[in-house]
Amino acid sequence: MLGINCKQPNRTMAITAALALSVLYILYTFNACLLSSINRTLKQVPTVGGATVTTMERPAAVATQLPQVRILGSIVRIVPLTDEGAGTGGTNTTDGSPKYRFLRQQGLRPSRHLPDALIIGVKKSGTRALLEFIRLHPDVRAAGCEVHFFDRHYGKGLAWYRHHMPPTIEGQLTMEKTPSYFITRDAPRRVRHMNPATRLLVVVRDPVTRAISDYTQARSKKRDMKRFEELAFTNGSAGGVVDTSWGPVRIGVYAKYLERWLEAFPLAQLLFVSGERLIADPAVEIGRVQDFLGLKRVVTEKHFYFNSTKGFPCLLKSEERSSPHCLGKTKGRNHPRIDPAAIDRLREFYRPFNQKFYQLTGINFGWP
Ligand SMILES: Nc1ncnc2c1ncn2[C@@H]1O[C@H](COP(=O)(O)OS(=O)(=O)O)[C@@H](OP(=O)(O)O)[C@H]1O
């Protein structure tokens, strides 16, 4: 009995420690974006007078007010990671990625820069896949999360935007993707104002499939959502008029949005990536992207494999993980069944806009 009683607390402690470590590991691995935004929020701690101070400026009295959480019975104080370069374009000592560690070992001090290239859209066309694929390149560093600077946070200024970029060394490109830029009225002018030489990548996919994908995502967040057909047509069925006031339909009129971008940028500064080919043959599309960005063709077919369970190309390894992995569960969802008459009607609706888009881009995407 004594032996059992003595061992019991040890075992409980071991289980507790293992659980705590697992929780921390899961938080770190799967919520890098979440953690970095918590971290950024913590860097702006309000003072008593309502003004804000940065991490570097935070007085000790404020530091003791850091939020605390209880994890498995222990009080843990959430301490923001330090960032020497916050808002100044300086270096980031928190970036522990192998690329960055290697640079530090070489005595190099990377700094943050505004993006050289942007993936501006289109939503649900494969923008995440494109970003994850191109950032396999050692000369590309990208913001992991969508920053939404040119649509939601423009008022925060370019220094704020730069702070959200990863540190780079000379010769490395900085990239960001926020798919809503493509449809944001002021985005072309704003991007041009930041840098008229910014290179723009646009992933496009058959607008009907895109609309269904957009709807599938919205429905995953709102279970009682109406049927696709009810939302896509004014009278709720394929016999009616296409409802262009509904976002998932409106976004597919690519030509309308592209015309605005072409008022601000020459066509040669935009690269159009086929969302369909990005799935069918990612290496070919990534080859075009590397050429467009002036990069050596480093990312090739050797980086991909087709995962038949997921039905999509996946990565053999990446900057974060050395084992084969696919994009997350929110990419490559099963779409609901849509009335074929509704699909035909939408195809008919998009046809003239698609033709216009082919004319503007000089590319026939072959959408049905
Ligand atoms: N390799 C790979 N793995 C998984 N999914 C892939 C891949 N390549 C392209 N796609 C397609 O990307 C669609 C999601 O597009 P986005 O990443 O642009 O979506 S988002 O706008 O950022 O929400 C997503 O749409 P759904 O199939 O509707 O989920 C996929 O069809």
Look up the ipTM and state it.
Answer: 0.99
Q: Does 218 contact ligand 1 (Cβ within 6 A)?
A: no
Q: Which of 210, 34, 196, 4 is nearest to 116 (CA)?
A: 196
State yes or no: 213 annotated in a binding site.
yes
- Cα–Cα distance measured from residue 342 to residue 238, given in angstroms and rounded to the nearest whole number: 4
Tell me the two tokens of residue 23: 């929780």
pLDDT digits (tens, 9 = 90+) for 229-260: 999 999 888 888 999 999 999 999 999 999 99
CA 28 to chain centre: 18
- Cα–Cα distance measured from residue 118 to residue 268, given in angstroms and rounded to the nearest whole number: 14
- Ligand 1 centroid – CA 44 distance (Å): 34
Helix residue ranges, H only, the chain: 2-30, 32-43, 60-63, 98-105, 127-134, 158-163, 187-194, 207-221, 228-232, 247-250, 254-264, 275-280, 282-292, 340-361
Q: Does 248 contact ligand 1 (Cβ within 6 A)?
A: no
- Ligand 1 centroid – CA 313 distance (Å): 11
* Mutation to probe ligand 1, out of 33, 122, 124, 219 (largest number of atoms < 8 A from CB): 124
What is the residue type of 205? R
Q: What is the pLDDT of residue 93?
A: 36
- Token look-up 């599309």 returns 285
- What pTM value is reported for the model? 0.77
What is the residue type of 221? K
State yes or no: 332 annotated in a binding site.
yes
Q: Does 174 contact ligand 1 (Cβ within 6 A)?
A: no
pLDDT tens-digit profile, the chain (368 residues): 223 233 344 555 655 655 655 544 444 333 444 444 334 333 332 222 222 222 222 223 223 333 333 333 333 333 222 222 233 233 333 455 665 666 667 777 899 999 999 999 999 999 999 999 999 999 999 999 999 999 999 999 999 999 999 999 999 999 999 999 999 999 999 999 999 999 999 999 999 999 999 999 999 999 899 999 999 999 888 888 999 999 999 999 999 999 999 999 999 999 999 999 999 999 999 999 999 999 999 999 999 999 999 999 999 988 778 899 999 999 999 999 999 999 999 999 999 999 999 999 999 999 99
Residue nearest ligand 1's atom 19 by CA:
124
* Mutation to probe ligand 1, out of 180, 274, 331 (largest number of atoms < 8 A from CB): 331
Residue nearest ligand 1's atom 26 by CA:
332
State yes or no: 185 annotated in a binding site.
no
- Cα–Cα distance measured from residue 228 to residue 361, given in angstroms and rounded to the nearest whole number: 30
State yes or no: 310 annotated in a binding site.
no
Residue nearest ligand 1's atom 7 by CA:
129
Q: Does 123 contact ligand 1 (Cβ within 6 A)?
A: yes
Q: Classify burial at 239, counting beta carbons within 10 Å of its beta carbon; exposed 0-12, middle 13-18, buried 19 or more.
A: exposed
For the annotated catalytic residues, the residue numbers are: 124
DSSP secondary structure letter of residue 174:
E
